[in-house]
Structure formats: C-alpha cells, structure tokens
C-alpha cells in the first residue's frame, strides 16, 4: 500500500500522565502494541525513511488543567537490603512506618486533563488504529485508570507532517544528521539525547536529536487542518 499522510485523534475518558522527557511518538505506541502480542515491534504500518518512522510525538488538544497524581511507591531491591526491612518471622521484627527508609513514599506525577490527543503520521491508517486499540491506555499508570481512550478517529491529509510541523519545527525527535538532510538547521533547534528508534524505552539507544517543542495544539487548529488540508478539503 502507498503510504497515506493522516492525522489521528484519540478522545480521552481520563487524564493523561506524561513525564516531561516522554514524547509518546505514534511509532513507539504501535511498537509497544506489537510487543504485547509477541510480534515484531519494528514492523509497523508507518512509512520508514533513513531509519526513522513517520509518526509524530503526541500533542494535547487544548490547554490542559494540570493536577498532581500521587501513588504509594513500591518497595525495591534496594529497600529489602536494609536490615530493618528484611523479614524475620522468628523475631517478629516490627517495621515502623514513621521514619526513613521504611515510611510510605509517594511517586508524584503530573496529570493532564485534556479532551483529546493528536498525532501526525504517514502509512496505513487502518492498521495503525487497529494496533492502538490493543493498548490498555496511554501514558503512565494506564493500568490505574489514567490515559483511557474512548475512541480513535482518522483524517487523511494532503501533506505529511509526521516529521516537521507547518511552522517548520520538529514534530518528533529527529537525529541531527537527518535534520540537516531535510533542511532543518540544528543550530536553531532544541538538541538533547532521545530515543527515536525501537526499542524506544531503552535509553542506551539514545542519540543526539532535535526535539519537538509543540506539546499542545488548539481545537481550532485541528479543525482548520481537517477542513482545509485534508484530501477532501481545499488545499
């Protein structure tokens, strides 16, 4: 199938937890969906050029209301190495929950209340949506009810904005060499180490990339794009 540029929207039923260093690119989500079923996380229904898939970072639709979401931290191997934590049934040692290191600790996250999320991409939109529907949710703590999606929708577009947005800023982490190849000046961009290829969650694979700076997109901008830049619209 010839790759088709498209825009995906996900309507949310619950807030999204997203850490500042996470870009939640469409290809990283599709790769995770494949791995859930024991499939090859590198065979994705997206256009693939110079080692990078054509899938943008997530954009929150509208300005979110941001709250804190706190969860009690799980005990780690390091915790169990402390002499006051090691279980001992014979002595019935009491674990006091009033002082470090065994007092309750909280993991604190930012929870973004937004109505929808959006991604630009190029590839096979039908197969991309089918993979997204496998996921239990989006972002962190989706198993605790965050990042729940009520529905997905697709609009086929006239142009591919999976790598570069209409304002000429990166739509996803792009390796420095690739930026130069497509006409972006790294000197004008935010540069840092990021993962841009499978396995996305292994930071040992990180490389210097130009990073996306657009984390939000207005409902009006989405409507404008779908009305005027879809394949059925006036370009």
Task: Report how far residue 112's alpha carbon sits from residue 22's, in angstroms, rounded to the nearest whole number.
Answer: 14
| pLDDT for residue 84 | 57
pTM: 0.83
pLDDT tens, position by position, 83-110: 555 555 555 554 544 444 555 567 788 8
Domain ranges of the chain: 4-64+114-228, 69-109
Rg for the chain, CA atoms, rounded? 21
User: What's residue 235's pLDDT?
Assistant: 31
Q: What is the pLDDT of residue 78?
A: 64
């Amino acid at each position: 199938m010839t790759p088709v540029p498209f825009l995906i929207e996900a309507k949310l039923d619950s807030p999204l937890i997203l850490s500042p260093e996470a870009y939640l690119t469409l290809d990283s989500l599709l790769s995770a969906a494949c791995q859930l079923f024991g499939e090859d996380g590198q065979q994705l229904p997206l256009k693939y050029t110079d080692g990078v898939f054509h899938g943008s970072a997530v954009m929150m639709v509208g300005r979110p209301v941001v709250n804190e979401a706190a969860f009690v931290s799980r005990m780690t191997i390091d915790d169990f190495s402390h002499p006051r934590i090691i279980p001992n049934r014979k002595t019935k040692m009491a674990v006091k929950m009033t002082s470090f290191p065994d007092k309750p600790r909280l993991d604190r996250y930012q929870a973004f209340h937004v109505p929808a999320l959006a991604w630009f991409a190029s590839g096979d939109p039908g197969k991309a949506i089918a993979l997204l529907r496998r996921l239990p949710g989006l972002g962190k703590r989706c198993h605790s009810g965050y990042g729940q999606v009520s529905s997905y929708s697709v609009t086929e577009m006239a142009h591919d904005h999976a790598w570069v947005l209409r304002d000429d800023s990166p739509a996803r982490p792009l390796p420095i060499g690739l930026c130069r190849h497509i006409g972006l000046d790294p000197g004008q961009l935010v540069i840092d180490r990021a993962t841009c290829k499978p396995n996305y969650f292994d930071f040992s694979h990180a490389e210097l990339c130009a990073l996306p700076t657009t984390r939000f997109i207005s409902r009006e901008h989405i409507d404008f794009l779908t009305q005027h830049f879809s394949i059925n619209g006036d370009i």
